[in-house]
Amino acid sequence: MPYVNIQITKGATREQKAQLVKDVTDSLVRVLGKKPEHTHVVIQEINEDDWGFSGLLTDEWKKLK
């Protein structure tokens, strides 16, 4: 039973999340032969001030762009 956890910063639409779930499921079916009804995909949205990289929180990094 595949379990996929996708973590993204907040802001994706419902349609974008649905497309991610479909595409990830389709890939597991195609590449590994997994059954879609046994495939779980969880999307976790993280606040930008709770996600850091390159020494900065994401909201601060975006201000520099």
Q: What stretches of the chain show up as alpha helix (H) in DSSP?
A: 14-32, 58-64
Distance CA 37, CA 28 (A): 11
In the set 1, 2, 16, 19, the catalytic residue is: 2
- Answer yes or no: 2 catalytic: yes
Query: Letter for the amino acid at 64?
Result: L
Which are the catalytic amino acids?
2
